[in-house]
Amino acid sequence: MTLQSLGWSSREADLFRALNDPDLQPARVAVAYGATFRVYVEEGETLADVTGRLRHAAQGRRDLPAVGDWVAVRWTPPARATIQAVLPRKSLFSRKAAGEGTTEQILAANVDVAFLVSGLDHDFNPRRIERYLAMTRASGAAPVVVLNKMDVAPDLESQCRDVQAIAGGAPVCAISSKLDRGLEALEPYLQPGRTVALLGSSGVGKSTIINRLLGEERQRTAEVRASDQRGRHTTTYRELVPLPGGALLIDTPGIRELQLWDTSEGVEETFDDISVLAAGCRFTDCRHDAEPRCAVKAAVAEGRLPPDRLAAYHKLQAELAALASRKDALAQQATKKKWRAIHRAVRRMPPKGGSE
């Protein structure tokens, strides 16, 4: 195993050199087991722990290692390595963690290409694909939409056409991982040293795709429920897996609830057809709702823009606005808490000129 086979480039070399510590060596995070990590180094792989200093300095989960990260470790075999620093990322996948809270969940880092896997069975959902496209474009990676289960598609041609209409130029590949058909369309994106993330809901066939790409039955698979076409999680943690051809694949558990995080630019790029139409609106801050002389609403009325496309845009914008509001509220609470602590510390200080 070499650093180059793990995706190391001149970019990472420059970043690592800037640490200026000869006792450190580069490693790439393969798996995160809570507070413990498995990392790849040139000598192979080892378990690693984050130093207390790095953990204390972290402002949030974003500052700690994630699968796909390049890190600087100190390692003397056979002991565990210690992660001393996380190198700046070139891309980062994150979402709002499921539930009512306002917490960011990191999915993967330093991804070059994302395979956005969607089933062509009864769980087919173009609106969900739009969410994945927005998240991917915000991450810095390049999206490729992979439509799996073409063998059971009720209307393959129409479904592919619907996805191409919302993909915004992203490649769209139809495959059947179960029958091993169409996977050659993925080969151009699986170049040596390139990192590809596999993202999608439970039951779309990601584990079967990985088994086909690996050439072995490594990932456990399960059939979807016949009652609702939903799947069960067969991947339970994220993992960076080297493929036989030299590419690196990050497998992720199925995402049942994809709530966006810091994806405003990704939403605008994903809905660039609406952005183009908006240039003709009377008001530059038009929300394409009840404003007069709205070019976007006119396009819907004239049949040039599907109404569900605009409805999806409004829904994502409202979701991002609500998230931003909650973030602001939390930031204000944190600021108040900080100043209360400062005031308490000041009150405990002895008066000037007083005895100690």
Q: Do 143 and 231 belong together in one domain?
A: yes
Q: Do 82 and 113 belong together in one domain?
A: no
Query: Domain span at residue 163?
Result: 92-251
The pLDDT, as a whole number, for residue 219 is 55
* Residue 100 in domain: yes
With 90 as the cut, is the pLDDT of residue 117 above it?
Answer: yes
With 70 as the cut, is the pLDDT of residue 99 above it?
Answer: no
The pLDDT, as a whole number, for residue 101 is 60
Query: Which position has the higher pLDDT, 318 or 324?
Result: 318
Is 207:220 a contact under the CB 8 Å cutoff? yes
When pLDDT is averaged across residues 280-292 and rounded to a whole number, the result is 92
pTM for the model stands at 0.81
Q: Do 186 and 225 belong together in one domain?
A: yes
Q: Pull the structure tokens for residue 355.
A: 């005895």
* Residue 258 in domain: no
* Residue 309 in domain: yes
| DSSP E strand stretches across the chain | 25-33, 36-41, 44-50, 70-74, 81-86, 92-96, 104-109, 113-119, 142-148, 172-174, 195-200, 239-242, 248-251
Is 65:110 a contact under the CB 8 Å cutoff? no
Q: Do 138 and 160 belong together in one domain?
A: yes
The pLDDT, as a whole number, for residue 221 is 47
Q: What φ, ψ does residue 145 adopt, rounded to 5°? A: -85, 125
Percent of the chain whose predicted confidence (pLDDT) is above 70: 84
Which are the contacts of 58, defined by CB distance < 8 A and separation ≥ 6? 64
Query: Which position has the higher pLDDT, 97 or 188?
Result: 188
Dihedral angle sign, alpha carbons of residues 333, 337, 343, 346: negative
The pLDDT, as a whole number, for residue 334 is 61
Average pLDDT, the chain: 86
The pLDDT, as a whole number, for residue 238 is 85
Q: In 3-state terms, what secondary structure has residue 214? A: helix
Residue with tokens 């066939």: 205
* Residue 352 in domain: no
Is 267:313 a contact under the CB 8 Å cutoff? yes
The pLDDT, as a whole number, for residue 333 is 64
Q: Do 13 and 32 belong together in one domain?
A: yes
When pLDDT is averaged across residues 59-73 and rounded to a whole number, the result is 92
Q: Do 127 and 230 belong together in one domain?
A: yes
* Residue 256 in domain: no
Beta strand pairing call for 70-74 and 104-109: unpaired
Query: Which position has the higher pLDDT, 147 or 268?
Result: 147
Of 39, 60, 86, the residue that ends a domain is 86
Of 198, 221, 251, the residue that ends a domain is 251
The pLDDT, as a whole number, for residue 266 is 83
* Residue 60 in domain: yes
* Residue 260 in domain: no
Q: Do 70 and 97 belong together in one domain?
A: no
Q: Do 228 and 116 belong together in one domain?
A: yes
With 60 as the cut, is the pLDDT of residue 331 above it?
Answer: no
With 60 as the cut, is the pLDDT of residue 54 above it?
Answer: yes
Beta strand pairing call for 248-251 and 239-242: antiparallel
CA 11 – CA 101 distance, rounded (Å)? 36
The pLDDT, as a whole number, for residue 231 is 45
Specify the CATH number for the domain of residue 72: 2.40.50.140
Which are the contacts of 110, defined by CB distance < 8 A and separation ≥ 6? 7, 68, 69, 70, 89, 90, 91, 195
Radius of gyration of the chain from its Cα atoms, rounded to whole angstroms: 24
Q: Do 197 and 111 belong together in one domain?
A: yes
Q: Do 40 and 105 belong together in one domain?
A: no
Q: Pull the structure tokens for residue 182.
A: 């169409």
pLDDT digits (tens, 9 = 90+) for 333-348: 666 776 676 767 777 7
DSSP structure class, residue 69: -
Q: Do 152 and 186 belong together in one domain?
A: yes
Q: What domain count does the chain have?
A: 3
* Residue 79 in domain: yes
Cα atoms in the 13 Å half-sphere on the side-chain side of 198 = 29
**Among residues 23, 27, 24, which one has the least CA distance to residue 3?**
27
Percent of the chain whose predicted confidence (pLDDT) is above 90: 63
DSSP string, 261-329: -S-HHHHHHHTHHHHHHHTTSSSTT--SSS-TT-HHHHHHHTTSS-HHHHHHHHHHHHHHHHHHHHHHH
Specify the CATH number for the domain of residue 228: 3.40.50.300
Q: Do 124 and 244 belong together in one domain?
A: yes
Of 86, 120, 154, the residue that ends a domain is 86
With 80 as the cut, is the pLDDT of residue 49 above it?
Answer: yes
With 60 as the cut, is the pLDDT of residue 189 above it?
Answer: yes
